[in-house]
């Protein structure tokens, strides 16, 4: 029986990775903090070990005798009162995890990066694993921290650690417990808080397919290679229109110019900072939206066999999960999901 350690196993993607591994008969260990919310792991046959990415010594006991490591944990925020925390968790934390794996002789590591640290072609075409990018071209601390963390993974490959890198695009589906910034788009729509939209785009994929992609990367991925785990490129307007169709709700029709969205974000951030609250409209999120994050998953489909499940079905599962777990203020039975 293979033994796998998953960091970030209590989170959106990580919990699905854990579930897939359990279903395959792995002996699964999830690294958790004392304060971790274990809701998404309920009912699964696994072990938990207390540790912290920023505490190297706490990682060694969890890493011993591990066959495969899935480093999924990340600090995914578009705003932080102290941005240093994002770099501490994503960069220093990743270096600690990889060093512990190196010291303990882990056979294979799957590192969860992000399409956020890949290049986006200026002509609006799809980016891929080799699209050039410089760190100073990236917007926001999250993207820049993930860029640095990915470089750390490449460095460990050069040192002899067997690391495969996966770059998930925008996962949707059940279990978006925080929720992520993408899940918040769905939730804002469901709660009637989406009054308009900017001209931007994302690459959507079912979160279950992202989890499957991690395990396929461990099985079939080439050491040191990157694989984009994505599916369909959609503009924000198309996403909202799809949500409207699935829920019998009206889709926003007001196209918000980027300059107006940015002005609103600046005002909102200043107001929320004064009240010691997290901004509803993060400035970094608005700046990111100025480019459509469209990507090709052709490499992962061809080399890994990445599944391409229905985006509509994934959105329905997301909607249903949010409603069943009390995130939606307006009951779904008032409108119906189909």
Q: What is the mean pLDDT of the chain?
A: 91
Please determine, for residue 85, whether its predicted confidence score (pLDDT) is greater than 80.
yes
pLDDT of res. 125: 87
Residue 136 lies in a domain: yes
Please determine, for residue 288, whether its predicted confidence score (pLDDT) is greater than 80.
no
Q: From start to end of the chain, where are the E strands?
A: 3-7, 27-32, 47-50, 68-71, 108-112, 163-168, 170-172, 196-197, 201-206, 226-229, 232-235, 254-255
Please determine, for residue 279, whether its predicted confidence score (pLDDT) is greater than 80.
no
Write phi, then psi, for 254 (nearest 5 degrees): -85, 115
Please determine, for residue 331, whether its predicted confidence score (pLDDT) is greater than 70.
no
Model confidence, pTM: 0.93
Residue 7 lies in a domain: yes
Please indicate whether residue 164 or residue 181 has the higher confidence score (pLDDT).
Answer: 164
Residue 259 lies in a domain: no
Please determine, for residue 187, whether its predicted confidence score (pLDDT) is greater than 60.
yes
313 beta partners: none
pLDDT of res. 11: 95
Task: Count Cα neighbours of 53 within 13 Å in the Cβ-side half-sphere.
Answer: 24
Tell me the C-alpha distance between 76 and 240, whole Å.
23
pLDDT of res. 335: 44
Task: Give the tens place of pLDDT for each residue, 6-26.
Answer: 999 999 999 999 999 999 999
Please determine, for residue 134, whether its predicted confidence score (pLDDT) is greater than 50.
yes
Q: Per the structure block, which two tokens stand in for 67?
A: 């066959």
Range of the domain at 164: 3-172+205-231+294-309
Task: Give the tens place of pLDDT for each residue, 312-321.
Answer: 999 999 999 9
Tell me the C-alpha distance between 73 and 71, whole Å.
6
Residue 167 lies in a domain: yes
Residue 178 lies in a domain: no
Task: Give the tens place of pLDDT for each residue, 190-227.
Answer: 999 888 888 889 999 999 999 999 999 999 999 999 99
Residue 165 CA to its chain's centroid (Å): 14
Task: Give the tens place of pLDDT for each residue, 233-266.
Answer: 999 999 999 999 999 999 998 777 777 777 777 7
Residue 89 lies in a domain: yes
CATH number for the domain including 21? 3.40.50.720
Question: How large a percentage of the chain has pLDDT more than 90?
Answer: 73
Residue 61 CA to its chain's centroid (Å): 27
Ramachandran area for residue 311 (φ above 0: left; ψ -120 to 50: alpha; else beta):
alpha
Tell me the C-alpha distance between 317 and 309, whole Å.
12
Tell me the C-alpha distance between 40 and 23, whole Å.
15
Please indicate whether residue 213 or residue 291 has the higher confidence score (pLDDT).
Answer: 213
Tell me the C-alpha distance between 114 and 199, whole Å.
22
The structure tokens 């792991």 sit at 41
Question: How many domains is the chain partitioned into structurally?
Answer: 1
Confidence class of residue 333 from pLDDT cuts 50, 70 and 90? very low
pLDDT of res. 337: 53
Instruction: Summarize the confidence of residues 37-44 as an average pLDDT.
Output: 93
pLDDT of res. 199: 86
Residue 330 lies in a domain: no
Residue 317 lies in a domain: no
Distance set, CA 130 to CA 51, 110, 133, 149, 196 (Å):
34, 19, 9, 17, 34
pLDDT of res. 330: 64
Q: Is the peptide bond before 179 cis (omega within 30 degrees of 0)?
A: yes
């Amino acid at each position: 029986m293979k033994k796998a350690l998953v960091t970030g196993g209590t989170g959106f993607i990580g919990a699905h990775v854990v579930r897939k591994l359990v279903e395959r008969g792995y002996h699964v260990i999830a690294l958790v903090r004392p304060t971790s919310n274990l809701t998404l792991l309920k009912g699964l046959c696994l072990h938990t070990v207390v540790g912290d990415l920023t505490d190297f010594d706490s990682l060694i006991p969890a890493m011993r005798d591990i066959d495969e490591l899935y480093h999924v944990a990340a600090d995914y925020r578009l705003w932080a009162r102290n941005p240093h925390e994002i770099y501490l968790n994503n960069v220093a934390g990743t270096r600690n995890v990889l060093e512990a794996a190196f010291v303990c002789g882990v056979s294979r590591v799957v590192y969860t990066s992000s399409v956020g640290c890949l290049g986006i072609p200026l002509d609006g075409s799809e980016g891929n694993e080799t699209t050039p990018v410089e760190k100073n071209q990236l917007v926001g601390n999250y993207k820049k921290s993930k860029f640095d963390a990915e470089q750390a993974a490449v460095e460990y490959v050069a040192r002899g650690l067997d690391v495969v890198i996966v770059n998930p695009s925008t996962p949707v589906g059940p279990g978006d417990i925080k929720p992520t910034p993408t899940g918040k788009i769905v939730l804002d729509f469901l709660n009637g808080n989406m009054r308009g939209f900017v001209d931007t785009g994302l690459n959507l994929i079912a979160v279950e397919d992202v989890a499957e992609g991690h395990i396929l990367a461990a099985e079939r991925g080439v050491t040191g290679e990157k694989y984009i785990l994505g599916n369909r490129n959609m503009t924000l307007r198309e996403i909202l229109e799809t949500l409207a169709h699935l829920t019998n709700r009206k889709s926003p029709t007001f196209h918000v110019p980027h300059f107006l969205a940015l002005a609103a974000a600046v005002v909102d951030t200043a107001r929320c900072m004064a009240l010691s609250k997290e901004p509803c409209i993060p400035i970094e999120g608005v700046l990111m939206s100025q480019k459509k994050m469209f990507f090709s998953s052709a490499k992962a489909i061809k080399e890994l066999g990445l599944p391409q499940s229905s985006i509509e079905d994934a959105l329905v599962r997301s909607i249903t999960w949010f409603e069943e777990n009390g995130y939606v203020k307006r009951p779904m039975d008032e409108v119906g999901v189909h």
